[in-house]
C-alpha cells in the first residue's frame, strides 16, 4: 500500500477495494507462513485496545480499512464533490 500518490487519488473505489483485497490476501498468506514456521503468536500493544495478537491486529486493520472505504464512499457521493 505505501504512500499515497496522485494516481491513488484518481482510482475508483472498486479499484481501491481490489487493491485492498489483494493486500489482505498477501497478509493472510504471510500470517499462514509465519504460523507454519512456528513463529510465536505473541501480542503487541495497541494504544486503545491493549495487547493484540498478530491475528487480532490483522482483523483490526481490515475493519479499520473498511471504515475508511465507507468514509471515502460517503465523501465522493456527497453533493458538490467534483467529478473525475
What total number of domains does the chain contain? Answer: 1
45 inside domain = yes
| Pick from 36, 54, 37: nearest CA to 45 | 54
3 inside domain = no
pLDDT at 48: 92
Q: What is the domain extent for residue 17?
A: 12-77
84 inside domain = no
6 inside domain = no
| DSSP conformation class of 11 | S
83 inside domain = no
> Could you read off the pLDDT tens digit of each residue along the chain, which spans 84 residues?
456 666 766 778 888 788 888 888 887 787 777 767 666 667 788 899 998 888 888 888 888 988 988 898 899 889 988 876
7 inside domain = no
State whether residue 51 is helix, strand or coil: strand
82 inside domain = no
31 inside domain = yes
pTM over 0.85: no
Amino acid at each position: 500500500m505505501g504512500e499515497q500518490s496522485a494516481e491513488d487519488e484518481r482510482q475508483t473505489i472498486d479499484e481501491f477495494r481490489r487493491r485492498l483485497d489483494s493486500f489482505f490476501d498477501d497478509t493472510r498468506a504471510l500470517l499462514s507462513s509465519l504460523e507454519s514456521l512456528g513463529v510465536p503468536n505473541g501480542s503487541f500493544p495497541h494504544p486503545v485496545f491493549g495487547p493484540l495478537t498478530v491475528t487480532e491486529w490483522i482483523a483490526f486493520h481490515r475493519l479499520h480499512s473498511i471504515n475508511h472505504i465507507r468514509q471515502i464512499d460517503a465523501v465522493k457521493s456527497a453533493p458538490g464533490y467534483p467529478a473525475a
